[in-house]
Amino acid sequence: MKIVLFYLFALAAVVCGVLTITRRNPINSAISLLGTFVSLAALYILLNAQFIAIIQITIYAGAILVLILFTIMLLRIREIGKGPFDITSGAQRVAALVLSFIMFLLLIYALLHSAGVIGKVGDELAEVPELGPTQALAKKLFSTYIYPFEVASVLLLVGVIGAYILTRRPQASAQAEQAAEEASGQGD
C-alpha cells in the first residue's frame, strides 16, 4: 500500500510541476505549485520525515507561495506572454531552448554519475545516529549549512525589495516631491 501511495504522490508532484510551468495564467500556475508542494509533503510523510513535511507545508506552501502570489498581484500580471519581461524575439526563444536543453543534459549526467553516491546496498544494518532526524537536521542546518541558509534568506529579501521597486509608481514619487516643496514653501 505504501508503494502505491508513493507512486501516486510522485505522479501528482510531477503532473502539478508540469502544470506549473505550462499554465498561462500565473494564478493557476501558483495553485499548481501548491499541489506540487503538498504532494512533496506527502512523500516526506511516507518516508518518515514528518518534520520536513511540516516545514514543506508551512514554509513553502505557506510563506513562499504567499510571497509569489503577492508578487503576481503587485506586478499586475494578468497572463503570461503579455507582461513587460516576456520573451518577444525569436533569438530569445532559441537561447531559452538551448539553455534548457543544456540544463537537461547536465541533469541526466548528474543522475547517471550519482549511482555510487547512494551507498552500499545489502543486508547490513544501518548505523543509528545518536541524534534524532530533527536534531540532526537542525545541527547540520545551523552549523555546516549556515552560510547557504543565510544566503537563501538574503535572496528572499532581495526578491521582496525587487518586487517593490518594480511595482513602485514613478509618478507618485514626483507628486510626493512636489507636495513636499509646496509644504516647505508655505512654512516660510
Q: How confident is the model at residue 101 (pLDDT cuts 50, 70, 90)?
A: very high
Grid cell locating 50: 514528518
pLDDT, mean over the chain: 80
* Statement to judge: residues 182 and 164 lie in one domain: yes
- In terms of pLDDT, which residue wins out, 90 or 18? 18
* Statement to judge: residues 54 and 111 lie in one domain: no
123 within a domain of the structure (yes/no): no
* Statement to judge: residues 30 and 54 lie in one domain: yes
- CATH number of the domain to which 33 belongs: 1.20.120.1200
Please tell me the distance from the alpha carbon of residue 135 to that of residue 155, in angstroms, as a whole number: 26
* Statement to judge: residues 96 and 155 lie in one domain: no
127 within a domain of the structure (yes/no): no
In the predicted model, what is the mean pLDDT of residues 13-22?
Answer: 93
**What's residue 38's pLDDT?**
94
pLDDT (tens digit per residue) in 129-147: 566 777 777 788 888 888 8
HEC profile of 128-139: CCCCCHHHHHHH
Q: Is residue 97 scored above 70 in pLDDT? A: yes
Write down the pTM of the prediction.
0.54
**What's residue 185's pLDDT?**
66
16 is in which domain, residue-wise? 1-84
Please tell me the distance from the alpha carbon of residue 151 to that of residue 30, in angstroms, as a whole number: 24
**What's residue 31's pLDDT?**
92
pLDDT (tens digit per residue) in 22-31: 888 888 888 9
* Statement to judge: residues 76 and 8 lie in one domain: yes
In the predicted model, what is the mean pLDDT of residues 30-46?
Answer: 93
* Statement to judge: residues 76 and 99 lie in one domain: no
Q: Is residue 58 scored above 80 in pLDDT? A: yes
**What's residue 183's pLDDT?**
74
Q: How confident is the model at residue 169 (pLDDT cuts 50, 70, 90)?
A: low
Number of folded domains in the chain?
3
Residue % of the chain over a pLDDT of 90 = 20
Residue bearing cell 531559452: 96
* Statement to judge: residues 138 and 162 lie in one domain: yes
